[in-house]
Amino acid sequence: MPNRYFLTTPIYYVNDRPHLGTAYTMIVADALARWHRLMGEEVLFLTGLDEHGLKIARSAEEHGVSPKEWVDQASTWFIRAWADLGITEDDFIRTTDERHLESVAKFVQAIYDNGFIYKGDYAGWYCVSCENYYVESDLLEGGLCPVHETPVEWLKEENYFFALSKFQDRLTEWYERNPSAVIPESRRNEALGLIRQGLGDFSISRTSFDWGIPVPWDDRHVFYVWFEALMNYTSAIGYGIDEERFESWWPVAHHLIGKDIVKFHCVWWPAMCMAAGIEPPAGIAAHGFLLVGGKKMGKSQANHVDPVELANDVGLDPLRYHILRDITLGLDGDFTYEGLIERYNADLANNLGNLLQRVATLVSQKCGGVGPRPGGTTQMRAAVEAEIPAIIAEWAATRPNAALTRTWSLIGAANAALELAEPWKLEPGDEVDAVLGDALEVLRIVAVLASPAIPSSAADIWRRIGLSGQPDAPGAAGPSGVLAWGGYPGGVTVERSTPLFPRRKLEELAE
């Protein structure tokens, strides 16, 4: 049976439109999903929306519609944006889905039955935008939310609590037994720090509003939005509803998250899983923020960038490539048009685009437009065979930027080999055929390896060098896939055409 790879993104809060920050998460997740499909694994790539809470109820009211009407409308922004960005999610869950409501009821009942939920009084400073309580010492001067810098409200209510404090030792043990469960290490250390500080129980229900999932044993309460939203990861795979399906995907779950939600995913969620009697997820990878001119992206900021408009402007593959190649997962990245154009010209126009253009021109001039078979005893073959295992390892370790750097080193090797052999100075014959065949083979292999980052350009390269099918066929990079040297068949027509990646100048981009 093939390996299974269950990949999730955070579910986005529908009050915020998709922005470049959320698009960043989606592009990284999409590339990972595409890579694991290439490896022949069975992939389930899940994303979705977080649709409950006071903030949503208030937005709906402001717009004169019901909360459900509001979230139905807002959900279309996300569904469309991800389609426009070429995201290949397998499932899209909304926390208002019937399947989520049913599964959450089972999950919380298990926690309740195991004795980790109790009733108590709660009072505190509440930020409606965060849907979160703060203690006095968390607040900024003047009593402002530390995230939103807006006033918080004093709320007092009878709540159910989750007994997080009982999981301090078990969480510590889990981290010790699973040293790579949370990456990068800085986030693992942050989570461990929170656990060592001492864990307090937290409130999981509200009575002050009703836009949420009712507590099964007390319907005056609805669940706190974070508590039930995390359960989307298990409700999507049938927890409590379809046990066979659930067990086939859990706990091989990989959660891709932003560094701002480490506490929820790396402390609360593993404890909630333990409390319900299931294993915590296999892996959590926290990425940094994508900044624009050094500022975190958000709806309220002037530098809000619509990712679909940006992709239309600069090209979807160049945008995806820039994000995947230039940001180290876990560190913050800074988005600038200058950076994007620089990367585009260096890697896509000059390196990859030049190789393709050069080879297509030479095949037309020296080989009658018919691509020769690879020779196979050259430095190009050596480079490919040395790099492929390393590229596979980088993707497996969730390091797309390193995988792409190595992939581009193959293009560099092919360009260098052409410079050395100078086939443009040679008469048609075996020597020319050997070097061009090898370069075509490198292009074929690079099309497969680069397809998670630049899917439509990879397909275009594939077609231009005369291959049928697609470079991203499932299993193409797997053990019996097409990465072995010598796969380019030869005897096929190579298209001589306009440059795939024409050089670009910053000034040409529409404002």
CB 381, min distance to Zn ion, A: 56
127 vs 183, beta carbon nearer Zn ion: 127
Phi, psi of 369 (to 5 degrees): 80, 5
For residues 146 and 260, what is the distance between their CA atoms, to the nearest angstrom?
Answer: 12
Would you give the binding string for Zn ion spanning residues 458-487, x where CB under 5 A is met? Answer: ------------------------------
Nearer of residues 130 and 459 to Zn ion, judged by Cβ: 130
Closest approach of Zn ion to the CB of residue 33, in Å: 31
Tell me the closest approach of the beta carbon of residue 22 to Zn ion, in angstroms.
18
Between residues 147 and 459, which has the closer beta carbon with respect to Zn ion? 147
Q: Is 140 in the site for Zn ion (CB under 5 A)?
A: no
The reply on whether position 145 binds Zn ion by CB under 5 A is yes
Cβ proximity to Zn ion, 227 vs 321, nearer residue? 227
Question: Structure tokens of 309?
Answer: 């408009």
Question: How many residues line the site for Zn ion (CB under 5 A)?
Answer: 6
Kindly report whether the peptide bond that precedes residue 184 is cis, defined as omega within 30 degrees of 0.
yes
Footprint of Zn ion on residues 272-311 (CB under 5 A)? Answer: none
Q: Report how far residue 182's alpha carbon sits from residue 253's, in angstroms, rounded to the nearest whole number.
A: 12
- Per CB under 5 A, which of residues 146..175 are in contact with Zn ion? 147-148
Q: Which distant-in-sequence residues (6+ apart) come within 8 Å of 492 by Cβ?
A: 370, 371, 465, 466, 467
Q: How far is the CB of 151 from Zn ion (least distance, A)?
A: 10
In the complex, least distance from residue 258 CB atom to Zn ion, rounded to whole angstroms? 15
177-182 own/partner pairs: CB under 8 Å, 24+ apart: 180/283, 181/280, 181/281, 181/282, 181/283, 181/284, 182/266, 182/283, 182/284, 182/285, 182/286
Pull the structure tokens for residue 390: 């390393």
Detail the DSSP E strand segments found in 417-494: 492-493
Q: Using the minimum distance from each CB to Zn ion, give the nearer residue, 148 or 304.
A: 148
Within 108-137, the residues that bind Zn ion by CB under 5 A are 127, 129-130
Instruction: Give CA–CA dist 220/222, Å, rounded.
Output: 7
For Zn ion, give the closer residue by CB, 130 or 140: 130
Contact, 114 vs 163, CB < 8 A?
Answer: no
Closer CB to Zn ion, residue 14 or residue 418?
14
**Contact between 494 and Zn ion per CB under 5 A:** no
Q: How far is the CB of 150 from Zn ion (least distance, A)?
A: 6
CB of 146 to Zn ion, least distance (A): 7
CB of 152 to Zn ion, least distance (A): 7
Angle at CA of residue 407, ends 487 and 495, nearest 5°: 50
CB 492, min distance to Zn ion, A: 59
Whole-angstrom CA distances from 6 to 99, 166, 337 are 18, 29, 34
Cβ-based nearer residue to Zn ion, 148 or 343 = 148
Query: Terminal CA-to-CA distance of the chain, rounded, Å?
Result: 51
Could you tell me the CA-to-CA distances from 94 to 48, 91, 98 in Å, in that order? 5, 10, 9
**By the 8 A CB rule, do 28 and 329 touch?**
yes
Q: Determine the interface stretch with Zn ion among 139-147, 163-171, 176-184, 428-436 (rule: CB under 5 A).
A: 139-147
Q: In the complex with Zn ion, which residue's Cβ is closer, 127 or 292?
A: 127
Interface with Zn ion by CB under 5 A: which residues? 127, 129-130, 145, 147-148
